[in-house]
Amino acid sequence: MREVRTLVLDLDGTLAETAGDLIGALNVVMAHEGLEPVPVAAARSLLGAGGRALIQRGYARAGRELSQHKLDALFVDFLAYYNAHIADNSWLFPGVEACLDRCAAAGWRLAVCTNKLEYSSHLLLGKLGAAERFRFICGQDTFGVAKPDPKPLLETIRECGGLPSCAIMVGDSVTDIKTARAAGVPVIAVDFGYTDVPVSELGPDRVISHFDDLFEAAEALYPALT
């Protein structure tokens, strides 16, 4: 029986450019608190760990302390605004759709594992016309723990009917690379995502600069898995 091959992709900064809407929602929250807006150019050092972490990093950048109670309240406001404007200024990276079609045709089962909340992940991918391409979409809250804990990745692979020994992670940051390593899964890093350290310095198995290169990178890694 042929093994189930699973390709699990991060969302923000990997599948889609989402900085404009995420930083936009952060700035709405910060404006209500009288804080200066964060430029989108700063997104790559702020994004990647979910909405709460984004707010914390935004406040730290402004030199403001933030209690857990205040963070929880701000996150409610952030999430409401973000979900209402989730695809105003977000889009799939070039080549994503063609790449996913090619991978699916070759037998890869496709999934998403992100630190965005599950509802928001489905909402965004639906707005971008990509949700139906994935067998499973895992958010930060799906299994009660976020990346870099390996559980979300391992459970996502299981939900696809696969095994870690026949799976590959695709991400853009140290969070994704740590998650894959903890799960014992090879990792391909895109070099156009949200990281303040070049992904080539973080030790992924492959680095790609365009989705046109993902299929070949995944196929090259797969023989080593079996």
Q: What residues act catalytically?
A: 10
Q: Are 212 and 198 in contact (CB under 8 A)?
A: no
Q: Which residue has the tokens 């079609």?
A: 101
How many Å apart are CA 153 and CA 47, to the nearest integer?
19
Q: Which of 215, 4, 216, 10 lies closest to 107, judged by CA? A: 4
CB 173 within 8 A of CB 148: no
Which of 160, 187, 153, 147 lies closest to 171 in space, CA to CA? 187
- Is the CB of residue 81 less than 8 Å from the CB of residue 25? yes
Q: Angle 158-160-163 (CA atoms, 0-180°, nearest 5)?
A: 45
